[in-house]
Amino acid sequence: MLHPCSWGPGMKIELHDIKKHFGPVRANDGISLYVDSGTIHGLLGENGAGKTTLMKILAGYQPYDAGGILLNGRLMRFSSPAEAIQAGIGMLHQDPMDFPPLSVLDNFLLGRSKGLAQGRREGEKELGELCQRFGFALDPDVLANSLTVGERQQLELVRLLSLGVQVVILDEPTTGISAPQKKLLFDTLHKLAQEGLSVIFVSHKLDEVESLCSRVTVLRRGKVAGEAVAPLSSDHLVQMMFNQRLSPSTRADVSLGEVVLELQDAAVRTYRLSVEHMSLQVRSGEMIGLAGLEGSGQRLLMQACTGLERLAAGRLSIAGRDMTHEPYARFLEAGVAFVPAARLEEGLVSGLTLCEHAALMARTGDFFVHWKDAEAQAQKMIGDFNIIGRAETMVQELSGGNQQRAILALPHDDLRLLILEHPTRGLDLESTRWIWGKLLQRREQGTAILFTSTDLEELVEYSDRIVVFSGGVMSAPVDAGKITVEELGSMIGGRQQ
């Protein structure tokens, strides 16, 4: 064990009857929570249950309306994240909050109050030590925007540790990171807990909470629904989360139609990754799952199939028409839609309303916007996709789950090919099932669907065929009915080594 005393004694956290409302919504409605030092405490609940709000309050990002925070028995109130970090509480967000254009080392050094010049070399040394200690491989000189989500998370974690935090909050840390990165993260969290730090693990994924946490608090609609101590039973947790049991979904058999997408020995080459020899035939009504670790080439395939990335070799046709050299606009006209995972970066335009999004998507060719039609279209989206919001709501004001519904609602009904990047990432079980219901409906209407997922069960359950990507190599399609989760896992992992 290295530096056992570097963080001093552990910290006990008590949240007492925390209340926080946003307009009429009671995000936290009297939540009390006790986290002992040296433990990994799970905070479980579906989207909108109030987990993130509660943790943002604890980490100083948001003030609370009523209640109190006690650290080692002392009442605290933070007016900024910096104050919380000084008191020993650091939070890792769902989207790591780093500065992409700065180097890893610069990001690491951010937030220190010490001088500039003398800190650099020491900082580099400290970064190296921390990385070595947890088995992270972070190059201090590369730019943060070249890191994967998992690596950015590692960077943020060692940064917080170097600032001396004793409580680490992780908000949905496993979305978007690869399986080995996840294992490394979990090992790190165990190590931290052994050394007396408190870890709060926010998630809606039962299996992760079960395998990691010694104690779990379940939130439902802004209140504590119950607590459980290891060994945890998933039935019990599900019951607390939803107040009900979920039945497995059924999938109608769809007869496949004409060939919608055809790739012939296609290659995409970018600065960071190249994928060669991609051949694939997708027929109308077919559902193709793209499996693989993050950054193995799936995104390049998806971007190539929408015309957002040009082919360096090979041919691509949509519904029998050669589209190899066509721009993105032609793909849109041909009925291809791409739904990216980054909702507010690529998916939606912050600052525009749902109604304005509907108008933006309208392919009327008219000069003037027909606001009445756009409004009606927005209302239809809201109704069809159960979006909690109004036509004049700015998209950034929607919750994450509702943003995802809005993104999925935007493409037109008569699509030939729908390409989805992590369509259910970060969503709770209920929303996930609901969104799959919508996608299966589109499929029955004849839309071919390509999707990526890090959830192997989801891939096996919903795909007709699965293509596995590994380090820029695309496998031949596998029949999803003839493969188990374990086999798929070993295919992804096996090719990796």
Partner 1 sequence: MSARQPRLSRATLALLPVLLALIFTTLVLLVAGANPFEAYGNILAGAFESPRKLADVAVAAVPLLLCSAGGLITYAAGLWNIGIEGQMIAGALATTWLINALPLPSYGLLPLSVLAGLVGGALWGLLAGVLRTFGHVNEIFAGLGLNFVAAALTNYLIFGPWKPPDGATMSGTDPFPQAAWMPTLPNVRMSLITFVLALIAIGTVYVLLRGTHWGLRLKAIGLNAQAARRLGADTTSNMLLAFAVCGALAGLAGSLQATAVYRRLIPQISGGYGYLSLLVVLLSGSRAEWVPLVVFFFSVIQVGSPRLELRLQLDSSLGGVLQASVALFFLLIRGVRERLERKRE
Site for partner 1 in 211-230 (CB under 8 A): none
CB of 363 or CB of 482, closer to partner 1: 363
Residue type, 384: D
Minimum separation from the CB atom of position 272 to partner 1 (A): 17
Task: Quote the least distance from Cβ 104 to partner 1, whole Å.
Answer: 24
Q: Coil, strand or helix: which one is 33?
A: strand
Binding mask 395-414 for partner 1 (x = CB under 8 A): ---------------x----
The CA distance from 158 to 436, in Å, is 37
Radius of gyration of the chain (CA): 24
Strand pairing report for 198-203 and 40-44? parallel
Instruction: Compare residues 362 and 485 and give the one whose CB is closer to partner 1.
Output: 362
Tell the smallest beta-carbon distance from residue 80 to partner 1 (Å): 10
Q: Output the CA torsion sign for 135, 41, 91, 208.
A: positive
Q: Does the protein bind partner 1 through residue 352 (CB under 8 A)? A: yes
CB of 176 to partner 1, least distance (A): 18
The answer to whether 340 contacts partner 1 (rule: CB under 8 A) is yes
Q: Is 351 in the site for partner 1 (CB under 8 A)?
A: yes
Task: Supply the minimum distance, in Å, between the C-beta of residue 201 and partner 1.
Answer: 26
Q: Which is nearer to partner 1, 230 or 352 (CB)?
A: 352
Cβ neighbours of residue 211 closer than 8 Å, sequence gap 6 or more: 186
User: 440 near 216, Cβ under 8 Å?
Assistant: no
Cβ proximity of 108 and 162 under 8 Å: yes
Q: Does 347 bind partner 1 (CB under 8 A)?
A: yes
Q: Tokens for 63?
A: 């003030």
Nearer to partner 1, 95 or 464 (CB): 95
- If one asks whether residue 62 binds partner 1 (CB under 8 A), the answer comes out as yes
Half-sphere exposure of 379 (CA within 13 A, CB side): 6
What binding mask, one character per residue, do residues 357-376 give for partner 1 by CB under 8 A, x or -?
x-xxxxxx-xxxx-x-----
Per rule CB under 8 A, is residue 452 in the interface with partner 1? Answer: no
Q: Which is nearer to partner 1, 124 or 346 (CB)?
A: 346
DSSP codes joined into one string, 300-333:
HHHHHHHTSS--SEEEEEETTEE-TT--HHHHHH
- In sequence order, what DSSP letters do the residues of 423-447 get, joined into one string? TTTT--HHHHHHHHHHHHHHHHTT-
Should residue 349 be labelled a site residue for partner 1 when binding is judged by CB under 8 A?
yes
Element containing residue 299 per DSSP (H, E): helix 298-306
Closest CA to 38 of 193, 191, 209: 193
The piece of 82-90, 256-264, 348-356, 478-486 that touches partner 1 (CB under 8 A) is 348-356
- 3-class DSSP assignment, residue 396: helix
Residue with Cβ nearer partner 1 (140 or 176): 176
423 is a contact residue toward partner 1 (CB under 8 A): no
Q: How many residues bind partner 1 (CB under 8 A)?
A: 31
Name the residue nearer to partner 1 (CB basis): 33 or 406.
Answer: 406
In the complex, least distance from residue 320 CB atom to partner 1, rounded to whole angstroms: 23
Question: In the structure encoding, which two tokens stand for residue 325, read together?
Answer: 């050299």
Q: How far is the CB of 259 from partner 1 (least distance, A)?
A: 25
Closest approach of partner 1 to the CB of residue 369, in Å = 6
Q: Which of 116, 137, 252, 329: binder of partner 1 (CB under 8 A)?
A: 329
Which residue has 């990047």 as its token pair?
A: 421
Ramachandran angles phi, psi of 457, nearest 5°: -65, -40
Single out the residue of 48, 401, 55, 425 nearest to residue 241, CA to CA: 48
**Sequence letter at residue 22:** F
Positions in the binding site for partner 1 (CB under 8 A): 22, 62, 308, 328-329, 332, 338, 340, 344-352, 356-357, 359-364, 366-369, 371, 410
